[in-house]
Amino acid sequence: MKVVLPDSSELELPDGASGLDAARAIGPKLARDSVLARVNGHVQDLRLPLSGGERIELVTIRDKDDPDALYVLRHSTAHLLAEAVLRLHPGTKIAIGPPIADGFYYDFEFPEPISEEDLSAIEAEMRREIEEGRTWSREEVPREDALERFRAESQPYKVELASEAEPPISLYTQGDFTDLCRGPHLQDTSPIKALRLTGLAGAYWRGDERNTQLTRIYGTAFYSQADLDAHLQRLEQARAKDHRRLGPQLDLFHFDEHSPGAALWHPKGVALFNALEDLRRRENAKRGYLEVRTPLMWDIELWKRSGHWEKYHDALFLIPHGEHTFGLKPMNCPGHMLLFASKLRSYRELPIRYAESASLHRDEPTGTLHGLLRVRQMHQDDSHVFCTEEQIQDEIDGMFEFVGFLYDRLGVRELAHAELSTRPESKLGTDEQWDYTEGVLGTALERQGIPYRVKEGDGAFYGPKIDLFMDDAMGRPWQMGTIQLDGQQPARLGCKYTGADNREHMPWVIHRALFGSLERFIGILVEHYAGDFPFWLAPVQARVLPVGEGHRGPADSLRYRLAAAGYRADVDDRDETLGKRIRDAELEKIPFVLVYGDRESDDALAVRERGGGQSTRSLSELLDSFDALAAEAGSA
């Protein structure tokens, strides 16, 4: 048979030859260095037979940045981990051990609990295995053989997996350790040049909290020590962008243990917050949104009527009050429904777009709080659009235009990806309604070309939704904006309008938040810019530094004239050297520093830009450039 190589040449091989045989036919070095075969674009274990006509590519240890090459390396390292764990902790039950984005993990049920201190011994054992050398062999067996084997070894999780796996069932063995595994795997341990166990965590079997909690060990591996070092350095750099570190450091906000999950916003943080709020308010107004305010606290009877109580009452902060119980609102929708329903509406009024950014409270589980990214008190740029069925598509399209506008202004478009969630098991409404609404959202996403995946059954109980996500500095995804269609809640809360046919109709409601939680959005912005905000967002846009004591008066006057022109400016007149104050301004990432001494006047200001560029400009020139910078960011 013949197979096709990447350079389009053909290679003649005996029938049934494997990827490894192909490598051998080309050269001994290639055979030694190959880690997997890519056959017609799909990864395949080197040991598996090829078929005539296939396009094959051999991935080697030199392809050290190839994701597939890293996957196979880490997958094999995970097997070494399991071998080491079984040797050091006999009686451990092994579950699954896949490669993941930056490494691998393996889930175990240990006979005795282990702690992080045990990891170094396990890691040393893995190193010993590599030093000794291990070769992987692959075999395919009937299901019954696999079941028997894992029963004999008292490995219940493997028995469960083997009983569900698609035949042929493949087993990989290195040393005296055999694992049920689809592969592919390395030929032997020699390419594993650097490894590290990075962490320990609880993880539920099959991701279901009703199941046993297993112990997950995380690790990573590379083809060279330098690559591991570079990886660890990248992590260090990402940690330096952590908003939980930068926030207090830049004097934006902090948290106090007496109100977990609720930020204390400092003046500079509020400046940032308000810059976003101003943008939101201005752009909402341009698009016909009407700002409203509804109560913070409601009798829980309202949540029972809206349908939220049944599913979400655990997350409500409750306040007993006489015969009644009130709850802090976790969302604005019922209030907006009541506002709409407060009088008879005509189809001529639609669409009505209510917007509100009130404080919302949700009693999130303790273990889930995470700086500004997961809080208990937050503010959404929330809105509810009441419209007819014919208006839905236009409204949705308008929202996506709005999202694109905001992302471009804030420079975060490339961070965004989306999910479309369809009908859940427990839901309100008929299948026909769900067919329609899911279709509308899917169409809108495709028109916008936003990358997305479908999550079957993950919709809200009242309608399908689109969730917009962004990744933090560590690469963890967070849900930001959301757009949800709702044909149920308006009915429950008595929303209706009179149509052109003079009959009563139910409006559709589109729930939407584009930033999502302002808190979370600011957290992402801080990490994205590492605190180096664009001029229009910077909490302090300009700082005036009087050279000597005698320059305090003119420096103050300059600062107030900048403020009068609408810019956030302050003065640093501490008794410190100029060099020290410039250094501090740089560390605070202030875009403009104005040194003011004997040589300066309104006609000649000494301007230093963030990072060090210096120039001399008149005050009016400076204000012109401020105006230009602000306008560029959509702030005008």
Partner RNA sequence: GCCGGAGUAGCUCAGCUGGUAGAGCAAGCGCCUUGUAAGCGCUAGGCCGUGGGUUCGAGUCCCGCCUCCGGCUCCA
Q: Are 208 and 194 in contact (CB under 8 A)?
A: no
Q: Which of residues 400-439 bind RNA (CB under 7 A)?
A: none
Helix (H) / strand (E) containing 47: none
Q: Which of 63, 118, 179, 382 is catalytic?
A: 382
Selected from 47, 79, 93, 244, the binder of RNA by CB under 7 A is 244
Residue of 25, 200, 228, 563 that binds RNA (CB under 7 A): 200
134 binding RNA? (CB under 7 A) = no
322 vs 579, which CB is nearer to RNA? 579
Q: How far apart are CA 538 and CA 252, in angstroms?
A: 11
Q: Which is nearer to RNA, 423 or 465 (CB)?
A: 465
Gap between the Cα atoms of 210 and 595, Å rounded: 64
Stretch 46-105 residues interacting with RNA (CB under 7 A): none
| Binding region for RNA (CB under 7 A) out of 44-52, 54-62, 110-118, 558-566 | 110-118
Do the beta carbons of residue 255 and residue 263 sit within 8 Å? yes
Closest approach, Cβ 369 to RNA, in A, equals 5
The values of phi and psi at residue 484, to 5°, are -130, 140
Query: Phi, psi (5° rounding) for residue 405?
Result: -60, -50
Looking at 79, 243, 362, 376, which residue is catalytic? 362
Q: At its nearest, how many Å lie between RNA and the CB of residue 2?
A: 45
Residues 248-277 that bind RNA (CB under 7 A): 248, 255, 257, 260-261
The tokens describing 518, both together, are 């302002």
Q: Quickly count: other Cβ atoms within 10 Å of residue 456's Cβ.
A: 10
Amino acid in position 462: Y
Helix axis angle for 267-286 and 392-410, nearest 10°, is: 140
Closest CA to 284 of 403, 392, 386, 418: 403
Which of 30, 32, 160, 204 binds RNA (CB under 7 A)? It is: 204
Distance CA 100, CA 220 (A): 9
Is 370 annotated in the active site? no
Number of neighbouring beta carbons within 10 Å of residue 260:
13
* 236 lies in the site for RNA, by CB under 7 A: no
21 is catalytic: no
3-state secondary structure 504-534: EECCEEEEEEEEEEHHHHHHHHHHHHCCCCC
Per the residue annotation, which of 33, 243, 333, 543 is the catalytic one? 333
Q: Closest separation between CB of residue 202 and RNA, Å? A: 3
The answer to whether residues 598 and 547 touch, using CB atoms and an 8 Å cutoff, is yes
Which of 412, 606, 630, 633 binds RNA (CB under 7 A)? It is 606
Residue 552 annotated to the active site: no
Strand partners, 328: 297
For the record, the structure tokens of 309 come out as 């109580």
249 counts as catalytic:
no
Query: What are 385's strand-pairing partners?
Result: 353, 510
Nearest approach, Cβ of residue 249 and RNA (Å): 7
- Select which of 155, 174, 187, 380 is catalytic: 380
Could you tell me the smallest distance in angstroms from the CB atom of residue 133 to RNA? 31
The closest alpha carbon to 4, from 45, 27, 35, 37, belongs to: 37
User: Residue 384 catalytic?
Assistant: yes
Among 41, 113, 449, 451, which residue sits at the site for RNA (rule: CB under 7 A)? 113
199, 439, 457, 566: which one contacts RNA (CB under 7 A)?
199
Distance between CA atoms of 443 and 599, rounded to whole angstroms?
Answer: 63
For RNA, the binding residues in 523-582 under the rule CB under 7 A are 547-549, 574-580, 582
Roughly what angle, to the nearest 10 degrees, separates helices 156-164 and 143-152? 170
Which positions from 347 to 386 touch RNA by CB under 7 A, shown as an x/- string? ---------------x-xxxxxxxx--x------------
Q: Which is nearer to RNA, 116 or 229 (CB)?
A: 116
Among 318, 474, 628, 631, interactor with RNA by CB under 7 A: 474
Residues, the chain, total? 636
Indicate which single residue of 56, 181, 331, 387 sits in contact with RNA (rule: CB under 7 A).
331
Restricted to residues 300-319, the positions that interact with RNA (CB under 7 A) are 308, 312, 315-316
Residue 465 is among the residues annotated as catalytic for this protein: yes
202 binds RNA (CB under 7 A): yes
176 in catalytic set = no
Closest CA to 180 of 162, 157, 167: 162
Size of the site for RNA (CB under 7 A): 74
Q: How far is the CB of 336 from RNA (least distance, A)?
A: 12
Catalytic positions are 333, 362, 380, 382, 384, 465, 511
